[in-house]
Amino acid sequence: MRVAKGLLGLLLAMPLLASAEEIGQVSTVFKFVGPNDRIVVEAFDDPKVEGVTCYLSRAKTGGVKGGLGLAEDRAEASIACRQVGPINFKGELKDGEEVFKERTSLVFKTMQVVRFLDKRRNTLVYLVYSDRLIEGSPQNAVTAIPILPWTHAQ
């Protein structure tokens, strides 16, 4: 019963996570069969903070396995978040709250972005990292956005 409730809660929370829009990609390794290895740039808006967009760049494995969704992508990723409008909070923010998650292997590996609020400096901090069921990776990237008034040029 607990497992069923946990799965239901997870399914209900999924829409709260941001989904990424692909901005562009570049090929890094030519593959004779299947898609090439590439670096993909994606954008997503923070689902709880209006006015913030994050840009993620990460490696995607090609070849036959990559084309079928069976390859394991590398753990490296880069992130840059920017204020793109007035910042408004759509609810209470929790430190370490997951704002984006995507699987990077068939089952056991994910890349995720979590948010922290540095109240002392009035700044939002976003961290991207990869984890695996058994062992994660210490490779990570961080970006910060000071919460400032939005002035729109007329």
Q: What is the pLDDT of residue 139?
A: 82
Cα Rg, the chain, nearest whole Å: 17
User: How far apart are the C-alpha atoms of 78 and 87, rounded to whole Å?
Assistant: 23
Q: How many CB atoms lie within 10 A of CB 31?
A: 16
Three-class DSSP category at 138: coil
CA nearest to 117, candidates 88, 87, 137, 94: 94
Q: Is the pLDDT of residue 3 over 70?
A: no
107 or 136: which leads in pLDDT: 136
CA 70 to each of CA 32, 44, 77, 104, 120: distance values in angstroms, whole numbers, following the listed order? 17, 24, 19, 9, 44
Q: How confident is the model at residue 6 (pLDDT cuts 50, 70, 90)?
A: very low
For residue 141, count CB atoms less than 10 angstroms from its CB and return exposed for 0-12, middle for 13-18, buried for 19 or more.
Answer: middle
Q: How confident is the model at residue 41 (pLDDT cuts 50, 70, 90)?
A: very high
Q: What is the pLDDT of residue 35?
A: 62
30 or 45: which leads in pLDDT: 45
| pTM summary value | 0.75
Average pLDDT over residues 37-61: 89
Contact in structure between 110 and 119 (CB atoms under 8 Å): no
